[in-house]
Amino acid sequence: MTRKIHDVKCITAKRREQLRRQAYEAFQSGITGHAFAKQHQIYAETVYSWYRRFAVCGEDAIKERKRGPEKNAGALLNSRQMKKLQKTVIGTTPDQLKFPFALWSLEGFADLH
């Protein structure tokens, strides 16, 4: 019989936090990450990444962190520039600004600066 390994990303945030709390207790007790992972049927790499965070942050590492990239990561415009662009595009048409086209396009946005 093979055991099913669960991807922690596919479970709820509350359950992930419960697992991290249990892993923290195991970490403090000296239980290896591999043994904890096998017992809870999750990936050992996940448990070892938690253990590394526990070693640096202690109990604070148990809390669920925001996942994914930060807001506006990789954006070319800051929020003030974005609001100005939105106001211009929503409030005017290209022909009002003496552009040679009637509808907004990416090239039209680039010409606004």
Contacts for 63 with CB less than 8 Å, ≥ 6 apart: 17
Both tokens of 57, joined, read 């942050």
* Predicted TM-score (pTM) above 0.75: no
86 shares its domain with 57: no
58 shares its domain with 84: no
Residue 42 located in a structural domain: yes
What tens digit of pLDDT does each residue of 66-99 get? 878 887 778 888 889 889 888 888 888 888 888 8
Task: Supply the range of the domain harboring residue 52.
Answer: 8-62
Q: Please, which pLDDT band fits residue 17 given cuts at 50, 70 and 90? A: very high
What tens digit of pLDDT does each residue of 44-57 get? 999 999 999 999 99
The answer to whether the beta carbons of residues 19 and 42 sit under 8 Å apart is yes
56 shares its domain with 83: no
Residue 74 located in a structural domain: no
- Residue whose C-alpha is closest to residue 36's, from 53, 19, 52: 19
Name the domain count of the chain.
2
46 shares its domain with 13: yes
Runs of H (alpha helix) within the chain: 13-29, 33-40, 44-57, 79-91, 106-111
